[in-house]
Amino acid sequence: MDSVAWPGRWSPLGVTHDGLGVNVALWSQGADRVEFCVFDRDGTETRHELAESTFHVFHGYVAGVEPGTEYGFRVHGPWDPEQGHRFNPNKLLIDPYARAITGELVLDPAIYGHVGSDDLVMSHGDSAPFVPRSVVTSNGFDWSGDRHPRTNWSDTVIYEAHVKGMTAQHPEVPEELRGTYAGLTHPAVIDHLLALGVTAVELLPIHHFVPETGVLERGLVNYWGYNSIGYLAPHAAYAASGTRGQQVNEFKGMVKAMHQAGLEVILDVVYNHTAEGNQLGPTLSFRGIDNSHYYRLSQGRFYTDYTGCGNTLDASSPHVLQLIMDSLRYWVTEMHVDGFRFDLASALARSFHDVDMLGSFLTTVQQDPVLRNVKLIAEPWDVGDGGYQVGEFPPLWTEWNDKYRDCVRDFWRGSVGVGELGWRLSGSADLYASEGRRPFASINFVTAHDGFTMRDLATYDYKHNEANGEDNRDGTDNNRSWNMGVEGETTDVEIDRDRHRQIRNFFATLLLSSGVPMITMGDELGRTQDGNNNAYCQDNGISWVDWELAPWQQEMLEFAHRVVHLRRQHPVFRQRYYFRGDAVTETGQKDLAWIGPDGREFSAEEWNSGTTRTIGMFLSGPLRGRDKWGRPVTDTSYLILLHSGPDHCPFVLPGPPCGHSYRRVLDTTDGGETVSPIAEPEGTKIMLTPRSLVVYEVVS
């Protein structure tokens, strides 16, 4: 022991710089002693005992510690794994409230609190040379002029992106900025997002994370970042400016630049588990601070795993809940983000074992004056029994709608009829309306980071994960994909033409459905992962966006622009209320009508037939909503035709009350040609191309 810290304060938690030194506060209910460990530039460690303890918070003040200083904690207490206690002062621990973290996790036996494969035997190796360290930071960013865009949910178009993958190969971004927060602010990137027409960028995890040790042993990394270890620290490897606190201001600069462009920033957050894994994982932070209170344990020694990642944070524990809430508020108030997507959110809603929608986490978020005013998105499932809760999260929350994903994939590969499709295209009222929620409760997606890209959905029937160190051929029934008869890329012109049309079908369906569309990074460019549908450990060209576009990819991008802007220009595609299926005009025009190929409304038999492959969705221009001045909202009426059959199909354009004449404004057929200057009268029999989507504007 080098010194004893001055008493300091027990609040706030973490390390707080005041200009002369730092106040240090660490909560641990089971610890006997805590040491605050400071490292000089040459790596020399100085330990300061936090001799004061108030409400189980060990605290002290250390003068002379400046921003940029690396530090950690050593926590003394009982080593009794069978009772859940894994205190080991030989392990340097990351501050749960660290605002910045630096350094890599290095594979060495010392990173484990135990010896070898026996988690009951305590390790005496010093982990300090092999683990990341916390960094002292100070506030000093000019937020003047920054304003949250506060885009209405009904107007939102989300773009799911990876900080590194977005710019790692971008030819216009300077090499030193590629793969960084600063790289995302380059005009070439901002201009791409604005031209596409998205309103929010949802970033894959940027909380500081480390790779799983098993992934490191295979010579790979955790690229996606769903392995958090610092909930208030932006991931250091994404910073171009440095990792000793500079990453904080660089992240803030990225948010400010996005806001200036009118783009919201949403964070994908992982509060359900940490990077410490199960009982055989490394001791990096929470395990060594107070294992039995941070994690859900089974039989004391083992970890309850609702996440598939080895452990589950116990969000029902008051101090764990406090950490989560403090983290969320920090990212809103200090880092100015606009919302969150919660990975495996039902794991956070578990009380004891079962998912509890009235439990402490959801109830606390509901009443929080900061968080209830930002965008909240749930991935509404986990891997535990009873964890799948799509449609059951309370108001304020929106949800990833995997039923939408599966239904749209199945329809376009021709394996289902249109019965469920009607619900999904019109906002999934069957899932969300009963709680008083609106269509925007449904986050619609066809692809996400996890799974095939749109291009790969039309190119592969199997996932090919040999690059992950796996011999895995998981077939089409799980992927809901269809390769058009040839596995993988081909030089067959006809097959390629069909595949490109299928990508346009996916994209147009997504953007023209009621609900909030989420576009996966690169789908607008026809990006491929070479059939890898679980590229979590591929920090290379498999996962990065390739900005060198073939002619058909440039056409795809232009098509994507047209579809997104069609949605943004017309509120008929951005419904604020669920359809009722009854008249909204004196002529009897319904707000929503389903039209069959004969030009008449669908019969119950056609709805329920599993062989129906063609459907027309009529959307009335007179809407149920009103603008902010109370005036009725009126738009153009549209007819969307979706045909997933393998043959050409005649379709009769319907007459009144739908309309008298129609003009084609979008068509996924070859090349994605769209606008037709010629209006076609009611009763005209048009011919739909196999597996195509056509949009008609009602002109009279």
Distance of alpha carbon 518 from alpha carbon 444, whole angstroms: 6
Bridge-based pairing state of the strands 3-4 and 45-49: parallel
466 counts as catalytic: no
SS3 content of the chain, % helix, strand, coil (to 5): 25, 25, 50
* Gap between the Cα atoms of 298 and 56, Å rounded: 24
Burial of 150 by CB count in 10 Å (0-12 exposed, 13-18 middle, 19+ buried)?
exposed
3-state secondary structure of 206: coil
Residues 14/94, Cβ–Cβ less than 8 Å = no
Q: For residue 534, report the phi and psi dihedrals to the nearest 5 degrees.
A: -150, 65
Tokens at residue 220, please? 């790979």
**Whole-angstrom Cα distance, residue 106 to residue 101?**
15
Give CA–CA dist 288/94, Å, rounded. Answer: 9
Q: Which residues, 6 or more positions from 226, have their beta carbon under 8 angstroms from its beta carbon?
A: 204, 205, 209, 270, 309, 343, 536
Q: What is the DSSP string of 130-181?
A: GS-EEE--------TT-------GGG--EEEE-HHHHHTT-TTS-GGGTTSH
Q: Rounded to whole angstroms, how far apart are CA atoms 523 and 513?
A: 17
Active-site option among 160, 379, 420, 591 = 379
Q: Which stretches within 413-550 are classed as H helix? A: 419-425, 429-432, 454-457, 476-479, 493-512
Residue among 128, 45, 62, 37 at smallest CA distance from 91: 128
Q: Which tokens belong to 60? A: 């002290």
CA distance linking residue 84 with residue 288, whole number of Å: 11
DSSP sequence for 571-621: GGGS-SS---SSB-STT--BSEEEE-TTSSBPPHHHHH-TT--EEEEEE-S
Run of H or E residues at 213: helix 213-217
Residues in the chain: 700
Tell me whether residue 202 is one of the annotated catalytic residues.
no
**Distance of alpha carbon 160 from alpha carbon 446, whole angstroms:** 12
Q: Among 70, 314, 343, 524, which one carries the catalytic annotation?
A: 343
**Is 313:124 a contact under the CB 8 Å cutoff?**
no
User: In the structure encoding, which two tokens stand for residue 575, read together?
Assistant: 């419904």
The answer to whether 89 touches 47, Cβ cutoff 8 Å, is no
Peptide bond into 12 cis (omega under 30): yes
Distance (Å, rounded) from C-alpha 293 to C-alpha 555? Answer: 55
Secondary structure class of 401 (helix, strand, coil)? coil
> Contact, 268 vs 205, CB < 8 A?
yes
Q: Return the DSSP state at 425.
A: H
Active site residues: 343, 379
